[in-house]
Amino acid sequence: MNKNKFMLLFVICCVLPLAAAKLVLELGWFNPGSSSKGVWLEQEIFLLDDISGQKKHWRIVLLTDTPCQQRCQNALHTVKQLYIGLGRKQEQVQPVVVGPLTDADVYPMFIQQQTEIMDTASLQQKILLVDQKGLVLLSYPMPEQQAEMADVARNIRYDLLKLLNYDRTSV
């Protein structure tokens, strides 16, 4: 094989994958947001206190309005079922209610907290995944219908298990 033929094959092998990658990105064939089911927050919001050093690394947070309406009750029940379904991974997750919790005896796994942040309007009517530093990472809608809540719970579970599996904060 002569020098020119080798150089041509080398350039084709290097340039062709780069050109294909650029084409895929330019035409929008690549879906960058397919790895998580929730909505990533665009700005950093530290909603809760830092609990570094504790076993609970992730918190599922509900911001409740006063009093807790049907949508909120559905979300509380769904998060309770989701928490129970985690099994042994419950040790790493803490359900939290920010605001009043009227049925504390029905939901003993929830802890009630207050937040120092006054502007929580953008987080109302959402279920949030919060890390141990108190940073809100993902949000999920609180649908009106109980049937739609099953899909939301499935999405939260998918993302939460992924976060638990890749969590390196205890290392």
CATH topology of domain 39-165: Glutaredoxin (3.40.30)
Peptide bond into 67 cis (omega under 30): yes
Give alpha helix (H) positions in the chain.
3-26, 70-85, 146-165
Each residue's pLDDT tens digit, 85-129: 999 998 999 999 888 777 777 777 888 877 766 667 778 888 999
Each residue's pLDDT tens digit, 71-80: 888 888 899 9
Domain assignments of the chain as residue spans, ordered by start: 1-30, 39-165
**Sequence-ordered list of residues with C-beta below 8 angstroms from that of 169, at least 6 positions apart, any chain:** 52, 57, 132
Question: DSSP letters of 129-153?
Answer: EEETTSBEEEEEE--SSHHHHHHHH
